[in-house]
Amino acid sequence: MGKAMFYHLTRRPLEQALPQLLEASLSRGWKVAVRGAEQGRLAWLDERLWAGKPDSFLPHGLAGGAHDALQPVLLTDARDMPNGATCLMAIDGASVSAEDVTALERVCLVFNGYEDEAVAQARQQWKALTAAGVAAEYWSEESGRWEKKAESAASPPAS
């Protein structure tokens, strides 16, 4: 059974924080699907990831290509993960279900702390997932590094 990890961005924008999270996942041997809410935003993120630090290469692709199944990191707005991902990173309020969490090693929900709507949506996702019995952790970068601020253990779903 997996775990949902909520990452509250308060110091860096998504395009700066996401590569660190992706690199950590790849170092564990996981394939990753980055699920976004809209194709245009994913295309924008794809460009930013290719323009990353010159000393690091983050192998990834935008879904819809001939080699989706081979991508270590696949950017997609769909529910399926043709790259066989074991880790899902949801951005921009993309939907995540309890079934996603239990089927994968890890599900990361990354949200912008400066957007009230994003914070409210993350709170709703936390409530829905923990009510479904999913283990969850809340992480903040407020101090300049990631720190765990809250945790909810897996439990039988609330009835």
Domain residue spans in the chain?
3-152
**pLDDT range class, residue 75, cuts 50, 70, 90:** very high
Q: Where are the alpha helices (DSSP H) in the chain?
A: 14-27, 39-50, 98-103, 116-131
The pTM (predicted TM-score) of the whole model is 0.92
Given CATH 3.90.1150.110, say whether it is the number of domain 3-152: no
Q: Which residues contact 30 (CB under 8 A, 6 or more apart)?
A: 85, 86, 87, 105, 106
Contacts of 121-124 with CB under 8 Å at 24 or more apart are 121/93, 122/6, 122/8
pLDDT tens per residue across span 93-125: 999 999 999 999 999 999 999 999 999 999 999
Task: State the pLDDT at residue 158.
Answer: 66
Interior/surface letters 74-87, b for 16+ CB within 10 angstroms, e for the rest: bbbbeeebbbebbb
Task: State the pLDDT at residue 124.
Answer: 97
